């Protein structure tokens, strides 16, 4: 007998209390070991339309809903008695007549016979029930043939509702449809062309559309993993559209991109695991931008490969700087890296010593980081002739000559202190690795790749095969150009990393509700492109679930903002959101006291994040927006979105020309976008008047 688990079960399990979850897991393990055990209390649901639905007793009031027949037992749902029975009475398991995929379908007759309205938020209340409303615009799919809609996975009984759907009603209708149907309709409504998976006449659970929501549990270890991490279910349930980019061979560097929440990190994790699985002797490097993100990757990888420890042993997870320092020590010698603060001091001293210029300190530091140090320019002629890719301000030769006097002094200061910059370390390491006959790592998978610098790419290219071009499959990148906040754009192709023709954009957002995603997207354009002309289209991205609209609140004083945030946090906790599922972000350290005061008023424990912190503690996470990258929470507050804070006035005042000002505004938009898209279900943005101009963009004004 096949023992299967549905994603609806892992979702509902995560909503129970900790003690209830423990009891449910014990019962589930008993079910897998012996479904016919006399100790299990099965009850046939006589009122259910699907006669294969049964309940299994867990304690006094909790019930597991299973679908049982001669060949399989499927875990469908778990909740308290009345809610569990109600769920089963409104659903049935069927094989779609057109696609051949197994689907848990909501029975149309159990839904009130009304037009479906758009989602309207009332404070922090849950989504409203369906209420009567007149369509305000023409139906979206009136001219689409029934056969085409069926090919998307729309259940036949829901065809009339789909044909009546308007722009206002589509999102709520999507909540009642199987995921593949909802995603296809949302894409069709936004001008896209949904992909249609070939029909199958075989096992309905083997169809790609079914594999996104049902998984066969072949052993106890796999079941343990699925039950322990319902919040991270997509490390177990890989979307078919993601799988096709994970499990393929590439003849050069490849990249997956997509807006926040589309599963790029999950693709990177599965890619690393697939490469290790395909090549039994291979070593894989899984790397990312910071130590914090590397720890998060390691936790997710441990969950993914919990039953394959030998496979996990061949995947090294490190931040780029950590693996760089380790390899440099092994192949070159000990290295002492210069901190950014040391470079700032050297730059200030050099700028004071060289007369006859008016360059701002911020400009000097940016020119150093993005041009001189990034490209490791070590003599005047190199700086004089460099193209300064990504830098906007034009510099004639006379100005460059003055600048070079400053940068020479900085380089000399570093040498005197026996210090090396991270860029210098990576470039020196690349030179050493290119001469090796034996590769240290067979494959490198890079998450958050949009913030890679020139030296990082040179190092990765050397790992992957050197100047003759990287080995097939050796480099795989996951990132979002719209989340670039640390690096100025430059040409990857000029380094030797060309992803043209091997770059794919993920379109389905699993992490962030439609309301949060669509409002955050207003901070960016409908498409973003890199310096090599690779374009990521964002207009056809769809979210797979609905939720409350973000709240944007502007008050007259910090005291009122503090009270507002405290009230919101208390309301979220009452709604069942755990403290560790909440984060508060601010633009910089200067605004941190306002965030901490709000948490103090709410009487909630908190932790201020840095690169050494763990996210497992039962505390609200508090951090600057720069540290938000790669993280995710059920609920997020973005505080202090005041004028002159977002965008940061200090950055604007340091800019000398309009071209550079545009770059500052772009990265500040990216930064706010990153902070907002950490939220899954709830998002609150606050400001003390006058507020940031970016908030009007999010409102659609």
DSSP-derived secondary structure for 21-66 = HHHHHHHHHHHHH-TT-TTS-EEE-TT-SSTTEEEEEETTTEEEEE
* 2 within 8 A of 223, measured Cβ to Cβ: no
* Beta-bridge partner residues of 107: none
CATH 3.40.50.300 fits 233-332+436-537, yes or no: yes
Give the range among 223-237, 282-296, 330-344, 573-587 with minimum mean pLDDT: 223-237
Q: What is the mean pLDDT of residues 125-147?
A: 65
CA dist 418 and 425 (Å) reads 12
Query: How confident is the model at residue 95, as a pLDDT?
Result: 95
Tell me the per-residue pLDDT of 425-439, one tens digit each, with 9 for 90 and over. 999 999 999 877 788
Q: What is the mean pLDDT of residues 539-562?
A: 88
Residue with tokens 């979105």: 641
Query: How confident is the model at residue 118, as a pLDDT?
Result: 42
Tell me the per-residue pLDDT of 581-634, one tens digit each, with 9 for 90 and over. 999 999 999 999 999 999 999 999 999 987 665 666 789 999 999 988 878 899
Query: How confident is the model at residue 191, as a pLDDT?
Result: 76
Q: What is the mean pLDDT of residues 25-52?
A: 89
Give the count of beta carbons closer than 10 Å to the beta carbon of residue 456: 25
Give the range among 258-272, 441-455, 503-517, 674-688 with minimum mean pLDDT: 503-517
The CA R_g of the chain, rounded to the nearest whole Å, is 27
Please tell me what DSSP assigns to residue 485.
-
Query: How confident is the model at residue 204, as a pLDDT?
Result: 92
Q: Is the pLDDT of residue 222 over 90?
A: no
Give the range among 219-223, 554-558, 599-603 with minimum mean pLDDT: 219-223
Q: Give the total residue count for the chain.
A: 701
Query: How confident is the model at residue 564, as a pLDDT?
Result: 97
Beta-strand relationship, 503-505 and 254-257: parallel
* 125 within 8 A of 574, measured Cβ to Cβ: no
Tell me the per-residue pLDDT of 172-189, one tens digit each, with 9 for 90 and over. 898 899 988 988 898 888
Query: How confident is the model at residue 129, as a pLDDT?
Result: 45
Query: How confident is the model at residue 183, as a pLDDT?
Result: 85
Give the range among 372-381, 391-400, 517-526, 618-627 with minimum mean pLDDT: 391-400
Q: Which residues of 82-91 are buried (b: 16+ CB within 10 A; e: fewer)?
A: ebbbebbbbb
CA dist 7 and 112 (Å) reads 25
Where exactly are the structural domains of the chain? Answer: 2-211, 233-332+436-537, 340-419, 548-699
Give the residue among 291, 311, 297 at the shortest CA–CA distance from 268. 297
Q: Is the pLDDT of residue 248 over 90?
A: yes
pLDDT band at 237 (very low <50, low <70, confident <90, very high): low
Matching fold, domains 2-211 and 233-332+436-537: no
Q: Which residues of 539-573 are buried (b: 16+ CB within 10 A; e: fewer)?
A: ebbbbbbbbbbbbbbbbeebeebbebbbebbebbb
Q: Where are the alpha helices (DSSP H) in 442-585?
A: 454-464, 514-521, 558-574
Kindly state the helix (H) or strand (E) to which residue 390 belongs, with its residue range: none
Query: How confident is the model at residue 128, as a pLDDT?
Result: 42
Distance of CA 365 to the CA centre of its chain: 30
Query: How confident is the model at residue 542, as a pLDDT?
Result: 78
Kindly state the helix (H) or strand (E) to which residue 483 belongs, with its residue range: none
CA dist 655 and 643 (Å) reads 17
Higher pLDDT, 659 or 36: 36
Q: What percent of the chain has pLDDT over 70?
A: 91
Tokens representing residue 175 in the block: 């909540």
Query: How confident is the model at residue 114, as a pLDDT?
Result: 41
CATH class of 548-699: alpha beta
Look over the chain and give the mean of its residue pLDDT values, rounded to a whole number: 87
Tell me the per-residue pLDDT of 118-132, one tens digit each, with 9 for 90 and over. 433 434 444 444 444
Query: How confident is the model at residue 132, as a pLDDT?
Result: 44
Give the count of beta carbons closer than 10 Å to the beta carbon of residue 179: 19
Q: Tell me how far apart the 2 most distant CA atoms of the chain are, in Å.
A: 90
Query: How confident is the model at residue 432, as a pLDDT?
Result: 92
Query: How confident is the model at residue 587, as a pLDDT?
Result: 96
Angle at 655 between CA 625 and CA 408, to 5 degrees: 100
Higher pLDDT, 2 or 573: 573
Give the range among 55-69, 125-139, 222-236, 308-322 with minimum mean pLDDT: 125-139
* 133 within 8 A of 170, measured Cβ to Cβ: no
Tell me the per-residue pLDDT of 404-419, one tens digit each, with 9 for 90 and over. 999 999 999 999 999 9
Give the count of beta carbons closer than 10 Å to the beta carbon of residue 171: 24
Query: How confident is the model at residue 251, as a pLDDT?
Result: 92
CA dist 280 and 634 (Å) reads 38
Q: What is the CATH number of domain 2-211?
A: 3.30.2310.20
Angle at 525 between CA 636 and CA 488, to 5 degrees: 85
Task: Name the burial class of residue 232, with classes exposed (0-12), middle (13-18) and buried (19+) by CB atoms within 10 angstroms of its CB.
Answer: middle
CA dist 431 and 507 (Å) reads 38
Tell me the per-residue pLDDT of 96-124, one tens digit each, with 9 for 90 and over. 999 999 999 999 887 765 444 443 343 44
Query: How confident is the model at residue 658, as a pLDDT?
Result: 60
Distances (CA, A) of 131 to 109, 134, 138, 353: 15, 10, 19, 72
Tokens representing residue 487 in the block: 């690096």
Query: How confident is the model at residue 434, as a pLDDT?
Result: 85
Give the range among 192-196, 239-243, 522-526 with minimum mean pLDDT: 239-243
Q: What percent of the chain has pLDDT over 90?
A: 55
Tell me the per-residue pLDDT of 456-505, one tens digit each, with 9 for 90 and over. 999 999 988 755 567 889 999 999 887 877 677 788 888 889 998 899 88
């Amino acid at each position: 007998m096949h023992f299967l688990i549905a994603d609806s079960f892992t979702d509902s399990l995560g909503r129970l209390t900790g003690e209830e979850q423990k009891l449910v897991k014990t019962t589930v393990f008993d079910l897998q070991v012996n479904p016919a055990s006399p100790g299990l209390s099965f009850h046939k649901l006589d009122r259910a339309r699907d006669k294969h639905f049964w309940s299994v007793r867990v304690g006094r009031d909790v019930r597991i809903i299973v679908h049982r027949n001669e060949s399989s037992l499927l875990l469908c749902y778990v909740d308290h008695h009345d809610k569990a029975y109600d769920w089963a009475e409104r659903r049935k398991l069927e094989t779609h007549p057109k696609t051949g995929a197994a689907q848990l379908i909501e029975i149309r007759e159990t839904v009130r016979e009304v037009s479906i309205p758009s989602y309207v938020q009332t404070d922090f209340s849950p989504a409203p029930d369906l209420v009567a409303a007149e369509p305000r615009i023409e139906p979206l799919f009136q001219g689409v043939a029934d056969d085409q809609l069926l090919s998307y996975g729309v259940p036949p009984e829901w065809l009339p509702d789909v044909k009546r759907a308007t722009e206002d009603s589509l999102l709520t209708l999507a909540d009642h449809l199987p995921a593949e149907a909802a995603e296809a309709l949302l894409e069709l409504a936004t001008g896209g062309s949904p992909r249609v998976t070939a029909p199958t006449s075989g096992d309905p659970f083997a169809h790609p559309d079914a594999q996104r929501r049902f998984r066969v549990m072949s052993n106890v270890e796999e079941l343990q993993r699925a039950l322990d991490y319902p919040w991270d279910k997509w490390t177990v349930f890989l979307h078919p559209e993601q799988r096709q980019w994970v499990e393929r061979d590439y003849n050069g560097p490849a990249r997956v991109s997509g807006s926040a929440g589309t599963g790029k990190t999950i693709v990177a994790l599965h890619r690393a695991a697939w490469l290790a699985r395909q090549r039994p002797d291979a070593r894989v490097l899984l790397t990312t931008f910071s130590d914090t993100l590397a720890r998060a990757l390691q936790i997710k990888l441990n969950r993914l490969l919990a039953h394959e420890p030998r496979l996990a042993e061949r995947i090294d997870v490190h931040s780029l700087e950590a693996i760089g320092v380790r390899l440099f020590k092994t192949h070159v010698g000990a290295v002492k890296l210069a901190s950014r603060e040391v470079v700032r001091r050297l730059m200030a001293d050099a700028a004071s010593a060289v007369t006859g210029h008016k360059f701002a300190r911020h400009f000097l530091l940016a020119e150093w980081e993005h041009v001189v140090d990034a490209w490791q320019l070590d003599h005047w002629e190199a700086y004089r002739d460099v193209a300064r890719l990504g830098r906007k301000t034009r510099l004639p030769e006379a100005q460059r000559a003055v600048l070079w006097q400053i940068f020479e002094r900085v380089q000399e200061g570093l040498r005197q202190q026996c210090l090396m910059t991270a860029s210098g370390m990576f470039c020196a390491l690349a030179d050493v690795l290119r001469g090796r006959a034996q590769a240290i790592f067979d494959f490198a998978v890079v998450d958050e790749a949009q913030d890679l610098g020139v030296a990082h790419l040179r190092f990765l290219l050397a790992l992957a095969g050197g100047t003759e071009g990287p080995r097939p499959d050796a480099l795989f990148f996951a990132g979002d150009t719209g989340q670039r906040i640390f690096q100025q754009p430059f040409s990857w192709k000029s380094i030797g990393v060309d992803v043209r023709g091997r770059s794919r954009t993920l379109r389905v957002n699993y992490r962030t509700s439609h309301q949060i995603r669509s409002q955050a997207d207003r901070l960016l354009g409908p498409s973003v492109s890199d310096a090599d002309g690779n374009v990521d289209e964002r207009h056809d991205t769809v979210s797979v679930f609905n939720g409350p609209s973000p709240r944007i609140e502007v008050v007259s004083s910090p005291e009122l903002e503090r009270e507002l945030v405290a009230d919101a946090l208390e309301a979220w906790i009452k709604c069942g959101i755990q403290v560790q599922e909440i984060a508060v972000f601010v633009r910089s350290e200067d605004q941190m006291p306002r965030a901490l005061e709000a948490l103090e008023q709410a009487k909630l424990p908190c932790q201020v994040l840095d690169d050494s912190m763990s996210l497992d503690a039962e505390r609200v996470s508090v951090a600057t927006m720069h540290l938000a990258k790669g993280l995710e929470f059920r609920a997020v507050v973005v505080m202090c979105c005041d004028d002159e804070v977002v965008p940061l006035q200090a950055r604007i005042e340091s800019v000398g020309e309009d071209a550079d000002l545009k770059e500052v505004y772009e990265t500040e938009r990216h930064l706010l976008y990153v902070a907002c898209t950490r939220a899954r279900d709830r998002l609150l943005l606050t400001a003390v008047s006058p507020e940031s101009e970016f908030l009007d963009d999010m409102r659609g004004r």
